[in-house]
Structure 1
Amino acid sequence: MCEYPIYVKALIKRQQGRIQESLQLFQAATALNPHNVANLKQVGRSLYLLGKHKAAVDVYDEAQRVSTAEDWEIWHNKGLCHMYLKQYDESVECFRSANDVQRHDTTYRQMGKVFTLQERYQEAVDVYLEALEFSPDNPELLTTVGLLYLRMGENYRAFEYLGNSLSVDPRDAKTILAAGSIIQDHNDMDGALIKYRVAAVQTPNSAQLWNNVGMCFFGKRKYIASIACLKRALYLDPFEWIIAYNLGLVHLTTGQCASAFHFFSSSINLKPDFPAAYMYLAVTLARLDDFENACAAYDRAAEIDGGADFTIRLNYAITLFNGGDAERSRTQFAEFEKAWLAADEESRAADPDVETQAETLRRALGL
């Protein structure tokens, strides 16, 4: 039998999506010529595509033993296998070895992804910045750095990198969406909507896009338009917790408490460790005159939050006071004051209504 036709046939099978058949053919080619590194690499690649990452690593190790020179592709693919096996340290070492052989954008991106999976955001940024020295006009790298800075709360630097990315590729929907979200965070709803209009042409079926558009309309107090956009987002991605949460907020604001309860409950089922969802569920239950369950929701919110969010304690204190339990209301108000003093200036200034409500409750409790 001849090795090369089998090799080509295997490549064709893989291109057609018939990975298992291609693997068998690559293994047959390897049996004919066990010292051909190209065959071993393709066997490893097929195993990787089938999700057999441990077996793929073993094949790549064998390929390295057979190979007479360092091979970037082997190191890179070993790194991918280790990443999916959640062996992150080994994965990073493989990617670094790959870059020592030959630098590639894709290796930098995957190494940054490993650090991001471990929530080591600064190290991920450092990797991407090194990649940008190698290819400074890569819009995908610029966008990724911008998104990481956004996740780290450094909005100014995030906007700088996203702007640089848009100057290279002005129609990239992911970058436009991220830039629009920063503009939206600064309460410039009209500016954000202009960005989103451009993104909608490229990705009309993006749930994240319609979610952000819906919250822009919410910020402009156009509640019917907000609900319409958010429901479209929910249709496109029914398992995205933030969309259900935002729908709960809009319905609560418009006084539709039964609908708000439904959406907050859905959000909690999808993401049970988000304290604000429990707090707004408690507010909704209080408006539905379910005092006992409202208190249970507040307790859960406070348990998850650990006392950092002063609005949970203030809303809890108000609900207890309205329910006729002044003693427990005083206890929660004392907790609110502790959290308020511990908060930074930016958090305190975010909602001026908090101070007004706190002062009103203080007088009502006779403190």
Structure 2
Amino acid sequence: MDDGTSTSGGVGKLTSMLRRDYKECLRLIETQLKSCDGMCEYPLYVKGLILRGQGKVQEALELFQAATLLNPSNHANLKQVGKCLFLLGKHSASIDVLDEAMLCARREDWEIQHNKGLCFMFLKEYEKALEAFQTANSIQRHDSTFVEMGKIYTATGDLKRAIEVYLEALEFSPDNPELLTTVGLLYLRDGENFKAFEYLGNSLTRDPRNPKTILAAGSVIQDHSDMDVALVKYRVAAVKTPNSAQLWNNIGMCFFGKARHVAAIACLKRSLYLDPFQWITAHNLGLVFMHTTQYASAFHYLSTSINLKPSFAASYMYLAIVLSRLEDAESAVAAYEKALQLDPDDPVCHLNFASTLHNIGERERARAQFQSYTILCSRMTSDERRALMETCAELHTQVSKMLQVN
């Protein structure tokens, strides 16, 4: 055997593999191994591939190691040993074997460098991982390598660089719907909704029933308050992924946007049943219950959301509003203070805090919070102020009158 090519008896095994008749293939392999007392390299190699495909990674590793003992200079065997070690979570050992395979290879091998990059990535040695992936791409460009590089930049918070990597990948594979969707999602995270929708739309043109793309496109539409169109999109996605917690969360918030609170609660509870640790769903349920004046239930779900994600300031603000409705002023004030500690530049939180402070008789503190709100509003653009007034004009007027300020 040389780099995976067969000699005597190999044609039958190869034909069985191509037909995916692995049972017959394994029978032929066993016959071959018996005839040569287990000293034939290629049957060991093929059997290892089959067993690994069936999830028997440890058994596959032993077969590839046996093939390596028979032919230590064949880098194909070493490459498979390295891949098995990676799948078993032995990333450092995998790198050592892959380095050995690289020394045995007659020419540069993309797969070796790509697999080394994966190992370094799991070890969180991102610089070395990027170096390996870049070397792999210099040998032969693959979508999968670009995707892994993009994952590293995304994990380290460098969304701009991640987008650049995926755009470079699209030059190589312009019709890849997964790449188009990923770019769209990154633009969405970066706040560029127009570009996000452009790439998500291109992805849907190529794969109109991709649930991941539909979910992302629906969320953009939903953010623009077109709930009915978003629901049409989600209906298509629900056929493919009926057990997606994120999908039911979005559907629930569409119904909330349409003021159909019972339907919203039902969908959000289904989402939470599918993924009990999804903090955003617990937050949204708290929000819906708050709007339906079910303050005890709102308190329960907002507290759950905070336990799951204690760094999200808005959950503390809504919890403070609920606590003030439950007449627990001391806890409400503490929740507002925590919200402002996490996000001191949120004008809505300052405005709500001012209202609560006035209601409990702390007029001077209320004035200070309203002044902070006014200062933050003055720094906004006209469009930002208009958007803010659309959501809290009534509260603004109410607090202004209470505090007798303009």
TM-score, normalised relative to structure 2: 0.88
Determine the structure 2 residue equivalent to 1:117: 155
**Where do 4+ consecutive residues of structure 1 move more than 3 Å?**
343-347
Letter in 1 for 2:127: D
SS, match of residue 209 in structure 2 = coil
Following the alignment from structure 1 to structure 2, what is the Cα–Cα distance between the partners of residues 176 and 183?
10
Aligned to 1:349: 386
Change (3 A) 1:31 1:344: farther
Which residue is 2:368 aligned to?
Answer: 331
1:47 deviates by 0.7
The one-letter amino acid paired with 2:254 is C
Aligned-CA RMSD value: 1.3
Q: Which one-letter code corresponds to 2:106 in the other structure?
A: T
- Provide the secondary structure at the position in 1 that maps to 2:175: coil
Aligned to 2:232, which of 178, 185, 194? Answer: 194
Partner AA of 1:311 in structure 2 = V
Q: How is 1:166-245 mapped onto 2 (pairs within 5 angstroms)?
A: 166-245=204-283
The 5-angstrom pairing of residues 65-214 of structure 1 reads 65-214=103-252
Shift of 1:191: 0.9
What is the number of equivalent residue pairs in this alignment?
366
Mapped to 2, the partners of 1:206 and 1:11 lie a distance apart of: 33
More moved, 268-277 vs 93-102: 93-102
Taking the aligned partners of 1:343 and 1:264, their CA distance within structure 2 comes to 29
Greater shift, 342-351 or 82-91, is seen at 342-351
Residue deviations 1:216-266 (CA, integer Å, cap 9, x gap): 110000000110111111111111100000000000000000000000011
Distance 1:226 1:345 in 2: 33
- Offset from partner CA, 1:124-150 (integer Å, 9 cap, x none): 111111111111111111111111111
Corresponding residue for residue 50 of structure 1: 88
Q: Encode CA deviations 1:20-52: one digit per residue, 9 max, x unaligned.
A: 222122222222222110111011100110111
> CA–CA distance in 2 between the matches of 1:149 and 1:365?
42
Q: What do residues 305-326 of structure 1 show as CA deviations (whole Å, max 9, x unaligned)?
A: 1x11111111111111111111
- Does residue 361 (structure 1) correspond to residue 396 (structure 2)? The answer is no
Report matched runs for 1:191-340 at 5 Å: 191-305=229-343, 307-340=344-377
Report how far residue 339 of structure 1 moved.
2.1
Task: Give the whole-Å Cα distance in 1 for the aligned partners of 2:196 and 2:213.
Answer: 11
The offset of 1:63, in angstroms, is: 1.1
Q: Which amino acid aligns with 1:343?
A: M
Tell me the CA shift for residue 7 of structure 1. Answer: 1.9
How far apart in 2 are the matches of 1:78 and 1:350?
A: 49
Q: 1:296 to 1:343 in 2, by over 3 A?
A: same
State the SS of the aligned residue for 2:47: helix
TM-superposed CA distance for 1:57, in Å, is: 1.1
Cα distance in 1 for partners of 2:387, 2:86 equals: 48
| Residue of structure 2 equivalent to 1:27 | 65
CA distance in 2, matches of 1:47, 1:344: 56
Measured after TM superposition, the shift of residue 121 of structure 1 is: 1.0
Counterpart-to-counterpart distance in 2, 1:15 and 1:235: 33
1:182-222 CA-to-partner distances (Å, cap 9, x unmatched) read: 11111111111111111111111111111111111100000
Which SS does the other structure have where 1:350 is aligned? helix
Report the structure number with the largest CA radius of gyration. Answer: 2
Residue type of the alignment partner of 2:201: G
Alignment-mate amino acid for residue 44 of structure 1: G
Deviates more, 1:153-162 or 1:24-33: 24-33
CA distance in 2, matches of 1:255, 1:358: 21
Q: TM-score, normalised by structure 1?
A: 0.97
Structure 1: segments with no counterpart, 5+ residues: none
Fraction of identical pairs, as percent: 61
Q: Summarize deviations over 1:158-190 as a string: whole Å, max 9, x none.
A: 111111111111111111111111111111111
Query: In structure 2, the residue corresponding to 1:43 is in which secondary structure?
Result: helix
Q: Distance in 2 between matches of 1:22 and 1:283?
A: 59
Cα distance in 1 for residues equivalent to 2:359 and 2:212: 45
Unaligned runs of 5+ in 2: 1-38
| Offset, 1:288 | 0.4
